[in-house]
Amino acid sequence: MTLPADSAGLPHADKHVKIVGAGLLGASVGLALTRQGIDVWLTDASPTAEALACDLGAGRPLADAGDMTPDLVVIAVPPDVTAHLVARELTLHPHATVTDVASVKGHIRTALRGFVDGGQLSRTDLARYVGSHPMAGREKSGPIAARADLFAGRPWVVCTGPHTADADHERIVELARRVGAAVVELDADEHDSAVARVSHVPQVMATLTASRLNDAPVESVALAGQGLRDVTRIAASDPALWTQILTANSEQVRIVLEEVRGELDTVIDALGSTSGSLGVLAGAFVAGNDGHARIPGKHGAAPTSYATVTVLVEDRPGMLGRLFTEMGEAGINIEDLQLEHANGQQYGLAEVSVLPAERGPMIDELRARGWNVPE
Ligand SMILES: NC(=O)c1ccc[n+]([C@@H]2O[C@H](COP(=O)([O-])OP(=O)(O)OC[C@H]3O[C@@H](n4cnc5c(N)ncnc54)[C@H](O)[C@@H]3O)[C@@H](O)[C@H]2O)c1
Ligand SMILES: O=C(O)C(=O)C[C@]1(C(=O)O)C=C[C@@H](O)C=C1
């Protein structure tokens, strides 16, 4: 389809977007683009993830695309298979720009250069690849966790190589802007060094803090307040994904963790000594205050909090799909969904998160359509 130039001054473009990997990131990109009327085609190694992402409105199944040729391919799969799929898509679609959203960039660039050296990928094809990384995500995985506004106001790193054509670079910049992100241009090494500090080591710290709870008495854990919750939210992230991210950026992560180890030793020593320890401890807290003060806001966007509505969904095929469709018809966007399913029960519980202003109208609308929405 032909898109009009929009208020952001983005150019007219024929846009067919293929997304490989319909999980959290892929489905979120799909939702954001589909809402702008862009033709999105989704494919995933998991047929369930693909079908669910399509049901949620993130695009259409690639199998129905016929001879559609994409202008843009977005690879949103785990880091360990990203380079392989980038190379495959570059070869498969000789006129498409190909990007990936993996959390590491140098590792993928090195693998792609290896494919060129090994003759599996042509240098000309590689020139159409532009690595990227939206600095937005969640501790949850899969299409069910996807959100159309995931990227709004967030940085989106674009890594342009020395041989990248302007048109391919522009297409990825346009993609990031269309989903509401703020473009940051970095090379792959700068990116990996920066994210070790602002993303990968924070993930390790949250994880190690949360794992201290494992042997604690249940009465101690029950005292958990907001501080612990703030510090450990991302400890609920996917272990397989993070194992890949850390190993792919091990050198940079080690550098920052060595710094942390140094500071940790200083704090431990201060706690075990009597003279001068208060100054050392206070110094550590002041340094933390200073670092915290340097964290920018979410590029001007207000944080979104959601209201939930519980719907009793009859346990028979197609009912959940009908719920999604009818909410779509009513113009209500599903921001999140939790399903509770008791074996042998006639009903499942769907806890649907929506924008707070949409909660009342949604309850009225669903009840009018015959859905069981308890008080
Ligand atoms: N989770 C985050 O917060 C976050 C943020 C920014 C970037 N990323 C990056 O985005 C990428 C995707 O992460 P996610 O959080 O969306 O993970 P996810 O698990 O939610 O989704 C990944 C999807 O890729 C599919 N997949 C795996 N191998 C495949 C293959 N060979 N072919 C086709 N599909 C395949 C899986 O079935 C899954 O549906 C990762 O590279 C990650 O580093 C993640
Ligand atoms: O907010 C979260 O849940 C995230 O962990 C998102 C986050 C991060 O900010 O570190 C995680 C990994 C990504 O590669 C990009 C973003």
Domain co-membership, 254 together with 359 = no
Domain co-membership, 12 together with 141 = yes
| Ligand 2 pocket at CB < 6 A | 103, 135-139, 199, 234
CA–CA separation, 357 vs 300, rounded Å?
21
Quote the pLDDT of residue 342.
58
Task: For 144-174, write each residue's pLDDT tens digit.
Answer: 999 999 999 999 999 988 888 999 999 999 9
pTM of the model: 0.81
Quote the pLDDT of residue 3.
40
Which residue range forms the structural domain that includes residue 33? 2-186
Please give the number of the atom of ligand 2 that sits closest to the Cα of 136.
16
Find the 286 Cα to ligand 1 centroid distance in Å. 38
Quote the pLDDT of residue 334.
85
Domain co-membership, 37 together with 177 = yes
CA–CA separation, 134 vs 51, rounded Å?
24
Domain boundary among 186, 216, 233: 186
Quote the pLDDT of residue 329.
87
Q: Which two tokens stand for residue 283?
A: 């110094």
Please tell me the residue having the least CA distance from ligand 1 atom 38.
23
SS3 350: strand
- The answer to whether residue 84 sits within a structural domain is yes
Domain co-membership, 174 together with 208 = no
Domain co-membership, 84 together with 163 = yes
10 Å Cβ neighbour count for 117? 10
Say yes or no: CB of residue 234 within 6 Å of ligand 1: no
Find the 199 Cα to ligand 2 centroid distance in Å. 6
Q: For the chain (length 375 residues), average pLDDT per consecutive 10? A: 39 74 98 95 98 97 93 98 98 97 98 97 96 97 96 95 90 96 97 98 98 98 95 97 98 98 97 91 96 76 67 87 88 80 72 85 92 88
Task: For 58-77, write each residue's pLDDT tens digit.
Answer: 999 999 999 889 999 999 99
**Hey, what's the torsion of the CAs at 308, 309, 315, 318, to 10 degrees?**
-90
Find the 170 Cα to ligand 2 centroid distance in Å. 25
Please tell me the residue having the least CA distance from ligand 2 atom 15.
135
Domain co-membership, 17 together with 148 = yes
Quote the pLDDT of residue 303.
42
Extract the runs of DSSP E, i.e. beta strands, from 265-318: 307-314
Please give the number of the atom of ligand 2 that sits closest to the Cα of 134.
15
CATH of the domain at 11: 3.40.50.720
Domain co-membership, 15 together with 122 = yes
Q: How many residues are listed for the chain in this entry?
A: 375
Find the 139 Cα to ligand 2 centroid distance in Å. 8
Q: Minimal CA–CA distance to 31: which of 147, 134, 125?
A: 147
- The answer to whether residue 56 sits within a structural domain is yes
Domain co-membership, 355 together with 256 = no
Q: How many domains does the chain have?
A: 3
Quote the pLDDT of residue 346.
77
Domain boundary among 170, 186, 202: 186
Please tell me the residue having the least CA distance from ligand 1 atom 29.
45
Residue 181 CA to chain centroid, in angstroms? Answer: 12
Find the 54 Cα to ligand 2 centroid distance in Å. 24
Domain co-membership, 176 together with 218 = no
Distances (CA, A) of 216 to 61, 222, 224, 228, 239: 47, 10, 12, 14, 22
Say yes or no: CB of residue 144 within 6 Å of ligand 1: no
- The answer to whether residue 50 sits within a structural domain is yes
Domain co-membership, 318 together with 341 = yes
Domain co-membership, 96 together with 116 = yes
Domain co-membership, 225 together with 175 = no
